[in-house]
Amino acid sequence: MQFEEIVRVALHALMDHKFRSFLTMLGIIFGVASVIAMLSIGEGAKREAIAKYQDLGVNNIIVREKKLSNAELEEVRARFSPGLSINDARVIKEIVPEVVQVAPQAEKEAEVKMGDMSAKSTVIGITPAFVEILNYETEDGIFISTDHYNNSLKVCVLGAGLANSFFPNQSALGKMVKVDDQWLEVVGVMKSKAVFTETVGELASRDLNNDVYVPLTTFNKRFTKDNLLESEIKQITIKVNSSGKLMESAALIRSILDRHHFNNEDYSIVIPFELLKQEEKERQIYNILLGAIAAISLVVGGIGIMNIMLATVMERTREIGIRRAIGARKKDIMSQFVVEAVAISITGGLIGVVLGVVLSFSISWFTDVTTFIRVYSIFIAFFFSVLVGISFGYLPAKNAANLKPIESIRYE
């Protein structure tokens, strides 16, 4: 018998019992759907993490001052550490060969006012190199330029959130805002950034959209420190030419800073790329677990197929006997039942794929879990559903083929 015939016979058998076939499929449908949904959750989490670290720069090393209490600060100063300084940044750029660019930044909690509105914000004094190192883009206007920096102009760039609440439905460009006691002109507005929900090393989680960027020169000239002992800058972001050199460069940077800070551990080094790799490793276990749970449901679906197929073979003993009497060989009967099982699993698999995609979109729509469907996950789920159909259809099909024609034809 030709393959096409076998398929036709099998499909007929399934269509004769639509409801039963559908019930049999349910296991596969949910199995495939959950595999796709689970994989999409894993992938979504991965993409979110990558996006987060990409914001910090995969080729970057971040040197951040440790949060120290006043007593600790006094102690490190007494031990001659001047804290992070613009000079540190300059030296790192000069000495470490892989370093492409450095961006020192100073920070200060401040109140930003516009008319009768005010907001708590972080003022960040930066150099023009900042925008080049971190992939920050302006939505409107320009970022702090060399001209602003060299002339310590009283300008600022607002975070998207701040601009939105102060200047809803209008351009903030050219407007004046008051930061602490300084009037600054808005020259640019940042693109909205994902809210930083997790603490990465020393980098505390906060909403970057409420930041105000000013030239570092202006910052130093116009804003007074909260505490005289505070370091000149809070953070140095260092860009290296290749992510393969991150560890070596970090080691070199550490030895430079140790020397400058007289071995006071008042700073910490964060390597986003390394953290990403580490996080990925941790997440992998979690993903395997999710996948395994989904795979179990697929197997359970397969057992459902086997169960129904075994019952079907019993029920169709007489039909099998008739087919055998008029010339069907064992393998004809065998392939008929295997193809039936596979047809159930393929159809169930296809419905499951659709359901899985819908499920995955609904998850990201109705909850704050990000999902992302990779095409390969659809193929994996589908492939396994067919495999399940073949393997769990095999036993019932073998039973059917091994029925003795004389006995089965008289079976009532």
Partner 1 sequence: MLIEIKNLVKNYIMGDIQVPALKNVSLTIDRNEYVAIMGPSGSGKSTLMNILGCLDTPSDGQYLFDNVDVSTLSDDALSIMRNREIGFIFQNFNLLPKMNSLQNVELPLMYAGVPKAVRRERAMEALERVGLADRMDHKPTELSGGQRQRVAVARALVTKPGILLADEPTGALDSKTGVEIMALFDELHRDGNTLILITHEREIAEYSHRIIQIRDGLIFSDEKNHRSNDVEQKIYKTRG
Q: Which residue in 58, 245, 332, 370 binds partner 1 (CB under 8 A)?
A: 332
Is 315 a residue that touches partner 1 (CB under 8 A)?
A: no
* Residue from 88, 232, 279, 319 in contact with partner 1 (CB under 8 A): 319
The answer to whether 2 contacts partner 1 (rule: CB under 8 A) is yes
As a whole number of angstroms, the distance between CA 19 and CA 13 comes to 12
Shortest Å distance, C-beta 364 to partner 1: 45
Beta bridge partners of 138: 190
User: How many whole angstroms separate alpha carbon 384 and alpha carbon 280?
Assistant: 25
Which of residues 193 and 330 has its CB atom nearest to partner 1 in the complex?
330
**Separation of alpha carbons 59 and 356, rounded Å:** 36
Q: Which of 318, 350, 361, 374 binds partner 1 (CB under 8 A)?
A: 318
Closest distance to partner 1 from the beta carbon of 12 (Å): 7
Site membership for partner 1, residue 330 (CB under 8 A): yes
Nearer to partner 1, 177 or 308 (CB): 308
Find the binder of partner 1 among 89, 323, 382, 396 (CB under 8 A).
323
Residue 358 in tokens: 């819908």
Dihedral, CA of residue 127, residue 207, residue 192 and residue 274, to nearest 10? 70
Q: Is 322 in the site for partner 1 (CB under 8 A)?
A: yes
Please name the residues in contact with 120: beta carbons below 8 A apart, sequence gap of 6 or more. 109, 111, 112, 210
Q: Is 314 in the site for partner 1 (CB under 8 A)?
A: no
Question: Which CB sits closer to partner 1, 66 or 398?
Answer: 398
Task: Answer for the pair 235, 102: CB distance below 8 angstroms, yes or no.
Answer: no
Total residues at interface with partner 1 (CB under 8 A): 22
**Which of 71, 228, 326, 375 touches partner 1 by CB under 8 A?**
326
Q: Which residues contact 173 (CB under 8 A, 6 or more apart)?
A: 140, 141, 186, 187, 188, 189
Q: Dihedral, CA atoms, 372, 376, 379, 383, nearest 10 degrees?
A: -120
Rounded least distance, CB 398 to partner 1, Å: 14
Closest CA to 136 of 105, 177, 90: 105
Using CB under 8 A, which of the segments 121-129, 281-289, 325-333, 386-394 binds partner 1? 325-333
Which CB, 115 or 327, lies closer to partner 1?
327
The answer to whether residue 7 forms part of the interface with partner 1 (CB under 8 A) is no
User: Does the footprint of partner 1 cover residue 325 (CB under 8 A)?
Assistant: yes
Looking at the Cβ atoms of 4 and 116, the one nearer to partner 1 is 4
- Closest contact distance (angstroms) between CB of 350 and partner 1 is 25
Residue showing tokens 């990558």: 50
**Closer of 137 and 407 to partner 1 (Cβ):** 407
What CA–CA distance (Å, rounded) separates 387 from 301?
A: 12
The per-residue b/e assignment along 130-161, b for 16 or more CB within 10 angstroms, e otherwise, is bbebbebebebbebbbeebbeebbbbbbbbbb
Query: Does residue 79 belong to the site contacting partner 1 (CB under 8 A)?
Result: no
Q: Minimum distance between the CB of residue 276 and partner 1, rounded to whole angstroms? A: 60
| CA distances in angstroms from 242 to 148, 245, 273, listed in the order given | 30, 6, 11
Is residue 405 within 8 A of residue 325, CB to CB? The reply is yes
The residues of the shown chain that bind partner 1, judged by CB under 8 A, are: 1-2, 5, 12, 16, 318-319, 321-332, 405-406, 409
